[in-house]
Chain A
Amino acid sequence: MMIELENVTGGYGHRTIIEGIDLLVAEGETVAILGVNTAGKTTLIRAISGALPHQKGHIRFEGRDISDDPPHARVSSGLACVPEGRHIFPQMSVVENLMVGAYHRRSSALDEDLEAAFTLFPRLKERRRQMAGTLSGGEQQMVSFCRAMMARPKLLLMDEPSHGLAPMMVEEVHSAINDVNSRGIAVLLVEQNVSSALRVASRGYVLDHGRITLEGTAGELADDPFVKKTYLGI
């Protein structure tokens, strides 16, 4: 198992946002977490990345309990994150942003990884010297995506990668997720855009008021009357 959450509860101070979360992602799998705003999706992702340590329960990565690891140590273990709202380094160039993503590794194969990252989004290669803060929203999302890939992750966490993007850009990001997945990297994807998330992912969980209320394969979820009514508007 790539990652395993067991009865994870977390939030800010005394305010619990997510409660009793059990979740699995297998090697090479793409899993979506669906839910409306305020369902606790970002809190869940931040608990897994370590940016907001969870309060109860266990998170195991490749069988090892990482609950007490700080975020940077989790990245070193192979758990990279594309945070919500992109969070790029605006005053640094595209290449510098990507290089920072690989610095914790102390390896010398940076150029290879850079090329591999650029194959996901060739457009970034043209803009490699440009300040990341001057890029469009979609391009910034690409930078954030590629920066996470520079860590050579085994599991990629993505928090709302399509948020605020033009429909064409959403397609591009989702096809990049498929591309990453075909390289054998597992993806845990948080999306508000349920219909497109169910096209990318093979399995999904529905998060509602901080609890998982439904889980199943993408097909099952797409056919579920509750999901249809609540998220797909059918």
Chain B
Amino acid sequence: MKRSLLILAVIAIAAILLGLALDPRSYGVRVLCLILMAAALGQAWNIVGGLANQISLGHAAFFGIGAYTSTVLQVQFELTPWIGMPIGAVLAAVAAGAIALPTMRLKGPYFALATLAFGEICRIGAQAMSGVTGGPQGLSVPFYGDSLAMMQFRQPGAYVPLFAALFFLVSAVFAVMSHGRLGYMLRAVRENEEAAEVTGIDTVRIKLTGAIISAACTALVGGLFAQFTFFIDPDTVFSTTEISIRAALIAIVGGVGLLWGPIVGALFVVLVEEFLNSTLSDALPGISPFLFGVALVVIVIARPEGLVSFRHLVTDRFGKKGKEA
């Protein structure tokens, strides 16, 4: 586990250095931020989707709660996101607990559908509560200029360390969980719930804990997303396709349940998406979601371990021994 944390730290620092090397206003820096954000989002999803193997399609609920909480607190009370984002994480954790209690006995597609519906309820709720959220018109983050205290900057380059830190935080949470007691217990519950229960695991408490941690991490990503884009609306931050499915896609394409899965998945999804948008958006608009759908089907059928399972192609070439299990 120490080795995993070390590699994660190296990746995060390398991303920060790359951010410094690039022009802070450039397109490249923006893509770098999007990759780090996608990796953090996928990793947060991976806690529930990978370790507990509960395929949630409602993580936009927590992303949106995180984004709206810190933004609303800024608009109404001028509260800094440094405090607003953790509050958003707590609210998302509460929401996750509330939805986990009735849904945790559901399996497979039923769990997916229930969480999907929950995400939609949150989106519609945010549209309806226009007094607080601004409704469908959305909400702008109040502009203070470059201000570390208010976590906002004119240039995307300044966000790279923030996204890198968040990426490291969420990935470290996943690494510690998956190598620790909690991770093993989640895996045991995933493999055989009744056996886990008679082995002494409080399965309800374990599933609840996993759901809450995953939701809190997702909310932090949502909060930083709002700071990065300066504008949020219900259709964006509570989006089923852009957030919920994307979080699952990133983890599954990369390698579900694996620490390196969402990282590889984020690189793949963001880079392919940006490339297609810049080259083919005139001729074939909307081609990237189509391709991701195809990629998802192919990977689930042909390579359930995800793109990470191709790592031996790289390690063999350099004559190194494959990573030990």
B-contacting residues of A (Cβ < 8 Å)? 49-51, 70-73, 75-76, 80-81, 83, 87-92, 96, 99-101, 103-105, 129, 147-148, 151
Cβ 8 A contact of A103, one of B194, B197, B198, B200: B200
Residues in A whose Cβ lies below 8 Å from that of B325: 129
Residues in B whose Cβ lies below 8 Å from that of A90: 191
Q: Given A103-B181, A103-B184, A103-B185, do A71 and B191 touch, yes or no (CB 8 Å)?
A: no
Taken together as a complex, chains A and B put the C-alpha atoms of A103 and B201 apart, in Å, by: 8
Write the B180-191 contact mask toward A (1 if CB under 8 angstroms, else 0).
Answer: 010011011001
Please count the residue pairs between chain A and chain B whose beta carbons lie under 8 angstroms apart in the complex: 73
Residues in A whose Cβ lies below 8 Å from that of B188: 89, 92, 100
Chain A residue nearest to B205 (CB atoms) is: A72
A-contacting residues of B (Cβ < 8 Å)? 181, 184-185, 187-188, 191-192, 194-203, 325
Name the distance in Å between B190's Cβ and chain A's nearest Cβ. Answer: 8
Name the distance in Å between A157's Cβ and chain B's nearest Cβ. Answer: 9
Taken together as a complex, chains A and B put the C-alpha atoms of A51 and B193 apart, in Å, by: 10
Chain B residue nearest to A82 (CB atoms) is: B198
Chain A residue nearest to B257 (CB atoms) is: A91
Q: Given A92-B188, A100-B188, A103-B185, do A80 and B194 touch, yes or no (CB 8 Å)?
A: no
Q: Decide: A87 and B195 in contact? CB cutoff 8 A.
A: yes
Cβ 8 A contact of B197, one of A71, A91, A96: A71
Residues in A whose Cβ lies below 8 Å from that of B202: 70, 72-73, 104
Q: Decide: B184 and A92 in contact? CB cutoff 8 A.
A: yes
Residues in B whose Cβ lies below 8 Å from that of A49: 198
B interface secondary structure, majority: helix
Cβ 8 A contact of B201, one of A80, A81, A104, A129: A104
Taken together as a complex, chains A and B put the C-alpha atoms of A60 and B194 apart, in Å, by: 22
Residues in A whose Cβ lies below 8 Å from that of B203: 72
Q: Given A103-B200, A147-B199, do A87 and B184 touch, yes or no (CB 8 Å)?
A: no
Q: Given A89-B191, A103-B181, do A70 and B197 touch, yes or no (CB 8 Å)?
A: yes
Q: Decide: A80 and B192 in contact? CB cutoff 8 A.
A: no
Q: Decide: A91 and B187 in contact? CB cutoff 8 A.
A: yes
Q: Decide: A91 and B199 in contact? CB cutoff 8 A.
A: no
